[in-house]
Every structure is written in C-alpha cells, then in structure tokens.
Amino acid sequence: MCGIVGYVGPQPALEVVVDGLARLEYRGYDSAGVAVLDGGTLQTEKRAGKLANLRRALEASPPAADGIGIGHTRWATHGAPNDVNAHPHVDGERRVAVIHNGIIENFAALRVELEERGCKFTSETDTEVAAHLLSTELKDRGDGDLAAAMRAVCRRLEGAFTLVAMYAGDPDLIVAARRNSPLVVGRGDGENFLASDVAAFIAHTRDAVELGQDQVVELRAGDVRVTDYDGAPAPVREYHVDWDASAAEKGGYEYFMLKEIVEQPRALADTLLGRVAADGTLTLDEMRLDGAELREIHKIVIIACGTSYHAGMIAKYAIEHWCRIPCEVEVASEFRYRDPILDRQTLVIAISQSGESMDTLMAVRYAREQRARVLAICNVNGSTIPRESDAVLYTHAGPEVGVAATKTFLTQLAACYLVGLYLAQVRGHKYGDEINAVIGQLAHMPEQVEKVLGTVDPVRALARSLAGADTVLFLGRHVGFPVAMEGALKLKELAYMHAEAFAAGELKHGPIALIEDGLPVVVVVPSREGRGVLHDKIVSNIQEIRARGARTVVIAEEGDEAVRPFADELVEIPAVPTLLQPIVSTVPLQVFACELALAKGNDVDQPRNLAKSVTVE
C-alpha cells in the first residue's frame, strides 16, 4: 500500500521526492520520511502522521541534498504508526537507508539471526531487517556492490515486497527490487525516477518502464539497468503514460473525490471509445484470447475485492443474460483457499482498479496454475495483474487519487458490459443488431450520468441532515442489490458509520427486525418497465419498512409514480435499460456518502485506516 519515490539527477532531490510523495499520499498516510545524501553523508527525516508533518520538520531544519534521494509514505503493518517506525530505516552505521512496501514474512527469524551478529534494532518493523541485511551483506562481500547485495538479500526474503535502497559508499546509485508489489521506473533526460505509481513522477516524465516479478533495478542519472535475482539481464517493457500531471491535480475542487465524481461522464466515454470496428462489430484491441478459445469456455468466475467485487456482481447479471454462460462471483481473498474447481474451459475475470491488489493477484496466479484462462479488467497500464493475465481490458478512467473508488467503479461496469457483449458476439448468442443496440445505449450513458450530476443538490442536503444518524440501511433487488452494497460500503469508508445492505427479498427473513422509528433506509428501485415483477415487490418492501417507522430514501426512475407515496425522500434518475441502471443509480449514493462524510468533518480523500491499493494479503 505504501507510496515509494526515488530520484537520481541534477534537480534538488529533496524537492522532487517530497513532491512525489504528495502525489502518492493516498497510498498511505500513517507516516512519511525521506533519505538524501549530503556530500556522501546519509541524512534522514521522518514523521508520524500525514505528509504535512514531514514538510514542517524539513522546513524547520532542511538538510542539504545532492541530486539523489528516496521517500516513503506508510500504511502501517508491522509496528505502530510513529516516528521510530516510519521509513526510511537505516543500518547501525547509517550507511544504508531502505524504504519498503509489503510484508517480509520471515522477518522474525532473520531479526534473531541479525541480533546474534550484534545488530541493534530501534523499530518494530520488518523493514529494518532489510536495512541490516543489506549492511551485513555489503560487509561480507567487501566489494561495495549494492545491487549484488540487494540480489543476495532478496533471495533470502519471503513474502511480498518492494525494497528501495541508498548506500553512502556509492552516492550516485539507487537500487530497488520487487516481488509481488508495485514498482515502476520513470525515464527522464539525464535523470531517472522510481515510484510505486507513475503519478509520483508524471510532472517530470511520461516515459515509464515496467519492472517484472523478482527483478532488481540499478538507477543512475544516465542509466537504468535491470537484472533478475541471479544477476542476469532481465527483459522490460517500456511504455508512454497517456495522461499528464494536470489529470492528477484537484482542478479547483477541495477534494479529489469531488473532482473524480464529476469526471465520471468523461471517464465512461473514454472507456467506451474506439470499441466498435468499421464493420459495426465490437472489437477489444487488448483482448489476447482468440474467438476459438472463448468459444470453449463453459464457466466464468469473476474475482475481485471491495468496490470491484460489486462491479463483478453486476457483471454476472449481464453476462449470464447475454451469453447464457454460468457465472460465479468470488471475493478474491477467499478464492484460492476453498479449492475451487477450475479447468481450461474456465474463464476467470479479475477486476482490480490498481492491478496490484494482492488478494486478486494471488487468485490470478492460482487460476493460471489450474490452467484457467484469465482476463483482467484494470485501470493502470503496466500493473502486475494485467501482465500476468491472458488478456486485459483497460478502463481508461485516468488517475483516481481519492481512496474511495468512484469513476473507476463506473468504468469497470462499462468494461464488464463490453466483455459480456463481446462474448455474446464471439459465441453467437446475440445478433449484430442486438449488440449494436446495447452499444448504442451504452454510448448514451455518459450524458445520463451528466444529467444525474446536475440534479444531486437535494441529495447533498439530505446527506447533511443525516450526519447525526448512527446507522443507514440499504435495500436493492436484481442489479440494485450490488448497487445498495456499494452505497453501504461508501458510507462505511467515508463516514465511519454503520451501514449495511440487504437483498430486499431477504427483508422478512430477519433484517426487518432492525427497522425502528426514524431509521434511514435507502432503497434502489428496479425499472418498472424492465423488471415489473421485481418493481412491484420492492414497492411492497418500502411499504413494509415505512409502516414500521423507517425514513425511506427511494432512488427510482423519473416518472415512477408508484413509489412516490411511500418515499419520504425521492431521488429520481433517468430511465435506462435495467442492466445499465447501476451506472446512474450509483452516482447519487457516491454524492450522498461524500457529503455526509464532509458534514461530519472527515477527509474524504484519505479515510482513516485505508489506502488506495491493497498490496498485502
């Protein structure tokens, strides 16, 4: 989860590194720290809390810095979030500095070994083990080769990690290694960068280099060298980032989340752009599975976590309806532990905003071991999950800095719909005109979201009125159920309050006991035309909870007069096809959660205990 930055070049390193950390603070804000070299002397500064605390410390006592430095924002795993446990960590002689993302699973045994050799530890972290290991390896080798020492250390480590190190004995070099944790190189003109996300260096260069699994990179101002853990040259893929620094700025909004909610129409349009060939057929350029392979598929399993899991639940409805293929949706963190039945005729669809979610990555690897075909839906070019999958569909949402997913969720939905339609086309379950009709409906969704965004002021007022509530419940049917789950998740993430979603049909099987006078209940109502039976049933559910004192907040299509008498608060959304309704019904729930959290005084970009990318299991 942590944010990592490294720089070698002619610019003041401290300024470049701290600016990069500011762009990565969404990855962890329990503490922050930097290490620079000053005439060959290692200087470090680190502070618990948000990056602002580190900035104040640096302003009070700015270290002189050569053109080399590393920095870190932490999401705590081992050890409390305090100054001592903050990164960077150094060896006893302060000649080696290390920053780290991930978990070193065998750190306890290694620590005992190092203590027996006389190493003194000052922190509770697993990271400090790596610093002492590097130092002892350099002493044992006697050649000052930091890269060789890093390779030797990595061969001893177990777990998922990115390690970045500086060494006072080689003041022009940064060495980094990765295993199951993100790391990317930025190539500049006479300068080079390292980061856990391209956002850290996008203001300086848009030319990036993917680092593969179990690789070590040596970074100098004029050179980038990549090897495997045995020292052999390793292949890399270079790519150009298709967005610039302005896309990662707030653009006049107080919070990134507010900006990213407003960006959703454009993000949707970009995800849908260029998907139809000149002959009218749907074409997915990133799909590396051919038609023959897709026609062999007899089962689909969708794996994802959090918001992406909700996108997968909605995808199940669309894929089974359009393709008539059995489709399961699994929480990725549980998937490989229940011994699932997979084979070559199984298509696993892995949905991950970052492409680095460790639970989903491990599930992908398990699926590949079982010979299943894997298709990734992801927003980040060059990330690990797409690289390790058989095919990928990028969502093109642009950078999303707010921890709570908004535009990445809507674009994941769009990508899932595209995959479902493509499978229906390849497998012959739908005629071309039927597919084109749905594509045409999808093409209108950006303007429908724009319409919703223009009518959410009453939702904001409602949210402020409920800032003192202890609990909000959510109900939904069909595709409205995962939308209700997403609404509840957003409220938990941002407002730190109890929120729970139920399938409305389950109401009388227990949850109705929770209803009491004044309890807010948000109900996502299905289309009256598209799902008339379910519509009528949910109207009955609304009547049942209202009769028991609930304050009903109803999200329904424009012109749905059947629900109006039973809605204490009515939020109208455009009438769209049933399977596509989540794209418009989710938006008011995003605004609701954001505004309620702001009314409570919370930071909606950096909710407590959370970070954007979960890179540990």
pLDDT at 567 (0 to 100)? 94
pLDDT at 289 (0 to 100)? 87
Show Cβ contacts of residue 610 under 8 Å, excluding neighbours closer than 6 positions.
Answer: 403, 493
611 band by pLDDT with thresholds 50, 70 and 90: confident
Whether 584 shows a pLDDT value over 90: the answer reads yes
Rounded percentage of the chain residues whose pLDDT exceeds 90:
73
Between the CA of residue 242 and those of 7, 158, 414, what are the distances in Å? 22, 35, 20
| Mean pLDDT (whole number) for 410-423 | 96
Amino acid at 587: V
Whether 365 shows a pLDDT value over 80: the answer reads yes
| Mean pLDDT (whole number) for 363-392 | 92
Rounded percentage of the chain residues whose pLDDT exceeds 70:
98
pLDDT at 243 (0 to 100)? 64
* Weakest mean pLDDT among 185-194, 359-368, 373-382, 583-592: 373-382
Map residue 602 onto helix, strand or coil: coil
pLDDT at 288 (0 to 100)? 82
Q: What is the pLDDT of residues 432-486, one digit of tens each?
A: 899 999 999 999 999 999 999 999 999 999 999 999 999 999 999 999 999 999 9
Q: What is the pLDDT of residues 92-139, one digit of tens each?
A: 999 999 999 888 889 999 999 999 999 999 999 999 999 999 999 999
Per the CB < 8 A criterion, the answer to whether 6 and 185 are in contact is: no
Question: Which residue, 367, 415, 421, is CA-closest to 394?
Answer: 415
Per the CB < 8 A criterion, the answer to whether 85 and 126 are in contact is: no
pLDDT at 495 (0 to 100)? 96
Whether 318 shows a pLDDT value over 70: the answer reads yes
State residue 476 phi and psi, 5-degree precision. -160, 160
Helical residues (DSSP H) of 143-281, grouped into ranges: 146-156, 256-262, 264-272
| 181 DSSP assignment | S
Q: What is the pLDDT of residues 68-97, one digit of tens each?
A: 999 999 988 888 889 999 999 999 999 999
Two structure tokens written together for 224: 């980038």
Whether 30 shows a pLDDT value over 90: the answer reads no
Whether 189 shows a pLDDT value over 80: the answer reads yes
Q: What is the pLDDT of residues 321-351, one digit of tens each?
A: 999 999 999 999 999 998 899 999 999 999 9
Ordered DSSP codes for 497-550: SEEEEEEGGGGGGTGGGG--TT-EEEEEPPPTTTTHHHHHHHHHHHHHHHHTT-
pLDDT at 246 (0 to 100)? 61
1 band by pLDDT with thresholds 50, 70 and 90: low
Separation between Cα atoms, residue 161 and residue 180, nearest integer Å: 6
Q: What is the pLDDT of residues 492-520, one digit of tens each?
A: 999 999 999 999 999 889 999 999 999 99
Q: Residue 119, Cβ neighbours under 10 Å: how many?
A: 18
Whether 206 shows a pLDDT value over 70: the answer reads yes
Between the CA of residue 160 and those of 79, 203, 615, what are the distances in Å? 17, 29, 8
149 band by pLDDT with thresholds 50, 70 and 90: very high
Q: Which residues are catalytic?
A: 2, 612
Whether 245 shows a pLDDT value over 80: the answer reads no
23 band by pLDDT with thresholds 50, 70 and 90: confident
pLDDT at 527 (0 to 100)? 86
- Domains detected in the chain: 3-241 (3.60.20.10), 256-443 (3.40.50.10490), 454-599 (3.40.50.10490)
Of 283 and 129, more confident: 129
Whether 617 shows a pLDDT value over 70: the answer reads no
